[in-house]
Amino acid sequence: MKTVDKYLFQALDSYPYSLEETIESLDYALSYDDKNTMALCLYGQVLSDQLFKYEEAKEYFQQAISININTIEVYPFYIHTLILNEDYKEAVKLIDFALTIKGINKVEIFLKKVMLLESQQEFKKALKALKKAKLVTINSAYEYDIEETEKRLNKKIKKGSKKEEPIKNKKK
- pLDDT at position 165 over 60: no
Using one digit for the tens of pLDDT, what is the confidence trace for 57-92? 999 999 999 999 999 999 999 999 999 999 999 999
Instruction: Write down the pTM of the prediction.
Output: 0.90
**Cα distance between residue 39 and residue 20, in whole Å:** 15
pLDDT at 108: 96
Using one digit for the tens of pLDDT, what is the confidence trace for 95-115? 999 999 999 999 999 999 999
Instruction: Please state, as a whole number, how many other Cβ atoms lie within 10 Å of the Cβ of residue 22.
Output: 22
Residues 6+ apart with CB under 8 A from 118: 126, 152, 153, 156
DSSP state of 141: G
DSSP state of 164: P
172, burial (CB in 10 Å: exposed 0-12, middle 13-18, buried 19+) = exposed
Using one digit for the tens of pLDDT, what is the confidence trace for 19-34? 999 999 999 999 999 9
Q: Which residues of 69-97 are buried (b: 16+ CB within 10 A; e: fewer)?
A: eebbbbbbbbbbbbbbbebeebbbebbee
Instruction: Please state, as a whole number, how many other Cβ atoms lie within 10 Å of the Cβ of residue 168.
Output: 6
- pLDDT at position 52 over 90: yes
What percentage of the chain has pLDDT greater than the value 90? 89
Domains and CATH numbers, the chain: 1-104 (1.25.40.10), 106-161 (no CATH)
pLDDT classification of 12: cutoffs 50, 70, 90: very high
Mean pLDDT of the chain: 93
117, burial (CB in 10 Å: exposed 0-12, middle 13-18, buried 19+) = buried
